[in-house]
Amino acid sequence: MTITVIGEGMVELSRSGEHGGIAGWETHYGGDALNSAIHLARFGLDTGFISALGADPLSRALRRSWADEGLDLTHLLTHPDRNAGLYAIETDAEGERSFAYWRSDSAARAMLDLPEAEAALAHAMRCDLLYLSLISLAILPPAGRERIARLCRDVRAHGGRVAFDSNFRPRLWSSPGEARAAIEAIGPLVDIALPTQVDEAALFGPEPVDAVADRWLGWGVTEVAVKSGADGCLVATRDGRHRISPPRTVVAVDSSGAGDAFNAGYLAARLAGRIPVQAAPAGHELAAWTILRRGAIPPRDHEAPYGL
C-alpha cells in the first residue's frame, strides 16, 4: 500500500515562553500536507512526499528531518535558485494560533517547473492513495493545478484513490472565488473528501454540516468526513450519515495541525480496513494527542496513538 502526498513543507518559527526578543523563537517545520504525510509515515505506511526545497542550509536540515520521520523523499526535488518557505506562528491562551508567512518565492511553488517533476508525477500515478489539499493547489499556478488534476485522473485510472482537504488560506488566493473554482474543478476527481466546516463556510457561506456533505457527495465523492472542531465530525457516504463525537474532551495547548492529524488518523484507519464510521475515532484521537502538545508535528511519546 503506497501513499503519495503533494504539498509544501516549511520552516516553522514558534514562540516559546514569554521572551519578547528573537531568542524567544524556536525552529521546527510544518505545512498541512506535510503534517499529514509524517503522521501517515508514523503509522508505518509507505508514504512519499512530492514537493521542492532549495539547496540552502535550512532546506538540507528539513530534508534530513523528514527522512528521519520515515518519509520516502525520492521525489522531493531541489530547486537551484529558490529556498524553503518559512512561517511564524503565535499561540494565544486558548491554543488558537495566528500566522505570518514568507513563502511567495519558495521552491515548492515552482516544483512542477523542474525537469524532474514529470518523473515524480509518473511515479505518483501508480500509488494506492494520493493525498493533497487546497493549499497544495494554491501554491501552484493555474497550469500546475491543471497538471495535478490530470494526475488525479491518472491515479484513479490505475485503480488508486484521491483524498482531499479543502484547507483554505485566503492570503494564498486572489479571491475566494478563485479558490472556489479550484475546489469545483478538483471535486469530481476526489474519492475521499476531508473538509472542515469553517473553511467551507468561508468559501461557500454559512451552512449546516449536512449541506457541506451534500455538496461533496454531489460531485461524486464516495465518502466525506466534515470536521467541526470540538463538535466532532459528520461522516457521510451514499449509504448514510453518522455524527461522530471526539472520544474525549481536551483543552488545546496548540491547535496547530489538528485537522491534518485527523485526516491522517482517518486515512490510516481506512487503509487498515475500517469502514468510514469506524475510522473517524482514530482521526479524533490523533487530533486530540496533537493539540495537547506544542507544534504542528509534536515529537512521538508513549501516548502517541499510532497503533491501529
Q: Domain coordinates of the chain in residue numbers? A: 2-291
**Confidence (pLDDT) at 194:** 99
- Most confident segment among 87-91, 161-165, 255-259: 161-165
Mean pLDDT over 148-153 rounds to 99
Whether residue 16 is predicted with pLDDT greater than 70 in this model: the reply is: no
Fold of 2-291: UDP-N-acetylmuramoyl-L-alanine:D-glutamate ligase (3.40.1190)
pLDDT tens per residue, range 57-77: 999 999 999 999 999 999 999
**Confidence (pLDDT) at 251:** 82
Share above pLDDT 70 across residues of the chain, in percent, rounded to a whole number: 97
**Confidence (pLDDT) at 94:** 67
Mean pLDDT over 171-195 rounds to 98
Q: Show the 3-state SS of the chain.
A: CEEEEECCCEEEEEECCCCCCHHHEEEEEECHHHHHHHHHHHCCCEEEEEEEECCCHHHHHHHHHHHHCCCECCCEEECCCCECCEEEEEECCCCCEEEEEECCCEHHHHHHHCCCHHHHHHHHCCCCEEEEEHHHHHCCCHHHHHHHHHHHHHHHHCCCEEEEECCCCHHHCCCHHHHHHHHHHHHHHCCEECCEHHHHHHHHCCCCHHHHHHHHHHCCCCEEEEECHHHCEEEEECCEEEEECCCCCCCCCCCCCHHHHHHHHHHHHHHCCCCHHHHHHHHHHHHHHHHCCCCCCCCCCCCCCCCC
Specify the higher pLDDT residue, 25 or 36. 36
Whether residue 18 is predicted with pLDDT greater than 70 in this model: the reply is: no
pLDDT class of 19 with cuts at 50, 70, 90: low
Mean pLDDT over 17-44 rounds to 89
**Confidence (pLDDT) at 62:** 98
What's the mean pLDDT when you consider all of the chain?
95
pLDDT tens per residue, range 222-243: 999 999 999 999 999 999 999 9
Specify the range with the lowest mean pLDDT, choosing from 155-159, 207-211, 251-255: 251-255
Specify the higher pLDDT residue, 15 or 205. 205
Specify the range with the lowest mean pLDDT, choosing from 57-66, 135-144, 196-205, 289-298: 289-298
Which positions are catalytic?
Answer: 260
pLDDT class of 17 with cuts at 50, 70, 90: low
Whether residue 90 is predicted with pLDDT greater than 90 in this model: the reply is: no
Whether residue 207 is predicted with pLDDT greater than 90 in this model: the reply is: yes
pTM for the whole thing?
A: 0.95
